[in-house]
Amino acid sequence: MNALAARIAGLIQAQGPLSIAQFMTMALHDPQYGYYATRDPLGAGGDFTTAPEISQMFGELLGLWIAQCWHDQGRPSPARLVELGPGRGTLMADALRAARLMPEFLAAIDIVLVESNPVLQALQRETLKDYPIGWSDHFEEPDRPLFLLANEFFDALPIRQFVKAERGWCERMIARDADGALAFALAPEPISPALLPPSRDGAPPGGVYETSPAATALAEQIAQSIARHGGAALIVDYGYGADAGFGDTLQAVGNHAFKDILDSPGDVDLSAHVDFAALAQAATRNGAAAFGPADQGEFLTALGIVQRAERLARGQLGRNPGIDSQLKRLVLPDQMGTLFKAMAILPQSAPKPPGFA
Ligand code: SAH
């Protein structure tokens, strides 16, 4: 048992089982041992690799997407560009470089990066030192149009799980087993089924319903801001649309492989599939329009990634060699092309954003 597991076990002994959301919050954000408080998880030497780290084309196309949305809404000035969970700052650097095609956009925006990880914040400061940027550790609604990017951010937000047991829907908790080790357990008392959406009725015995109150609340805030002041948000992540099943999607990843969820909290990344349908509902409930989710492969293809790849390959302008293999990784269905999805939130009055059928 590592130090954080021991601390969590002590807390459970004193106060009773934790929800999965509470466990995730401690494992990811404990100031001393939390996964996202202590390290740069990205890249070949880290635990996982993300689309902007695979290819500059990803950030470039997202940068052009957001500048186009700004243009389509009458080029509001001032406006704010926000990125949630910017990692190493790679996506933002590529997006801003591509957006130089629309210099009035760069002149109109201030930039805020929402980042809780001090190690990554330092990397972002270095990567983006040529740009005037502010940082925050949480999202705040701006007083102006909001243009927002988030790649692989929502999957890190804490989820709760409810399991269809014989006695009813019971929350899946983290308790201690007979030896004092961390173990999954169901809450003894079922919750009222009315707290779950009607689709719960299709669940088989043992089926799991997942919900992320943090993700829903954040989508609501973003949608309210965009409905009120204008703007556009693009959320890219791995997850499901209308086809949400009743599976357990909580996963631990370390060193590019799946790990046990409870063995070493703080040393491995924890994430779960993003429920895009829930985010879209949160957006429309708050007066905004939602688009997608579209499969990442289709979305990037509609934005012209194939043409961009050809140009980079011809001019050898790429940051890395192997443009063709980067393209395949981002777009092909058996790579990131269908598991990852893109969804957008815009004002109801705005024109349809690029990339969505
Ligand atoms: N978008 C980047 C990084 C993805 S990893 C990329 O695609 O490469 C998740 C990012 O979100 C990291 O930067 C992590 O530090 C940040 N993060 C995770 N949970 C957060 C939270 N609750 N508040 C702020 N930042 C968070």
Helix (H), strand (E) at residue 29: helix 20-29
Q: Is the CB of 59 under 6 A from ligand 1?
A: no
Q: How far apart are the first and last CA of the chain?
A: 49
Name the packing angle between helices 90-98 and 56-72 (round to 10°).
Answer: 50
Instruction: Please identify, by atom number, the ligand 1 atom nearest to the C-alpha of residue 83.
Output: 1
Q: In the predicted model, what is the mean pLDDT of residues 189-212?
A: 91
- The residue whose C-alpha atom lies closest to atom 3 belonging to ligand 1 is 87
Q: Which residue has the higher pLDDT, 81 or 201?
A: 81
- The residue whose C-alpha atom lies closest to atom 19 belonging to ligand 1 is 156
Question: Quick one: residue 255, left, alpha or beta (phi over 0 = left, psi -120 to 50 = alpha)?
Answer: left
The predicted structure's pLDDT at residue 318:
54
pLDDT tier, 309 (very low <50, low <70, confident <90, very high otherwise): very high
- Residue range 210-251, pLDDT digits in tens: 999 999 999 999 999 999 999 999 999 999 988 888 999 999
31 — phi, psi (to 5°)? -60, -30
Q: How far is the CA of 153 from the centre of ligand 1 (A)?
A: 5
Look up tokens 């609501």; give the residue.
220
- Residue range 128-155, pLDDT digits in tens: 999 999 999 999 999 999 999 999 999 9
Q: What is the number of other CB atoms lying within 10 angstroms of the CB of residue 221?
A: 16
pLDDT exceeds 90 at position 171: yes
Q: How far is the CA of 354 from the centre of ligand 1 (A)?
A: 25
In our burial notation (b when 16+ CB lie closer than 10 A, e otherwise), range 263-282 reads ebbbbbbbbbbbbbbbbbbb
- The residue whose C-alpha atom lies closest to atom 23 belonging to ligand 1 is 116
Q: In the predicted model, what is the mean pLDDT of residues 183-200?
A: 91
The predicted structure's pLDDT at residue 61:
98
Q: Is the CB of 91 under 6 A from ligand 1?
A: yes
pLDDT tier, 314 (very low <50, low <70, confident <90, very high otherwise): confident
- The residue whose C-alpha atom lies closest to atom 20 belonging to ligand 1 is 116
Q: How far is the CA of 209 from the centre of ligand 1 (A)?
A: 24
Mutate to test the pocket of ligand 1, among 36, 50, 152 (most ligand atoms within 8 A of CB): 36
Mutate to test the pocket of ligand 1, among 153, 157, 336 (most ligand atoms within 8 A of CB): 153
pLDDT tier, 313 (very low <50, low <70, confident <90, very high otherwise): confident
Q: Mean of the per-residue pLDDT values for the chain? A: 95
Q: In the predicted model, what is the mean pLDDT of residues 327-344?
A: 97
Q: Which residues contact 129 (CB under 8 A, 6 or more apart)?
A: none
The predicted structure's pLDDT at residue 252:
97
Q: Is the CB of 271 under 6 A from ligand 1?
A: no
Q: In the predicted model, what is the mean pLDDT of residues 186-197?
A: 91
Question: In residues, how long is the chain?
Answer: 357
Distance separating alpha carbons of residues 200 and 220, to the nearest angstrom: 23
43-47, 174-178, 322-326 — which one is most confidently predicted on average? 174-178
Q: Which residue has the higher pLDDT, 259 or 316?
A: 259
The predicted structure's pLDDT at residue 317:
59
Kindly state the percentage of the chain with pLDDT values over 90: 90
Q: How far is the CA of 268 from the centre of ligand 1 (A)?
A: 14
pTM assigned to the model: 0.96
- Residue range 83-134, pLDDT digits in tens: 999 999 999 999 999 999 999 999 999 999 999 999 999 999 999 999 999 9
**Is the separation of the CB atoms in 187 and 173 below 8 Å?**
yes
pLDDT exceeds 90 at position 197: no
- The residue whose C-alpha atom lies closest to atom 21 belonging to ligand 1 is 116
Q: Which residues contact 41 (CB under 8 A, 6 or more apart)?
A: 35, 47, 48, 269
The predicted structure's pLDDT at residue 156:
97
- Helices (DSSP H) in 73-129: which residue ranges? 90-98, 103-108, 118-127
Q: How far is the CA of 198 from the centre of ligand 1 (A)?
A: 32
Q: Is the CB of 124 under 6 A from ligand 1?
A: no
Q: How far is the CA of 235 from the centre of ligand 1 (A)?
A: 13
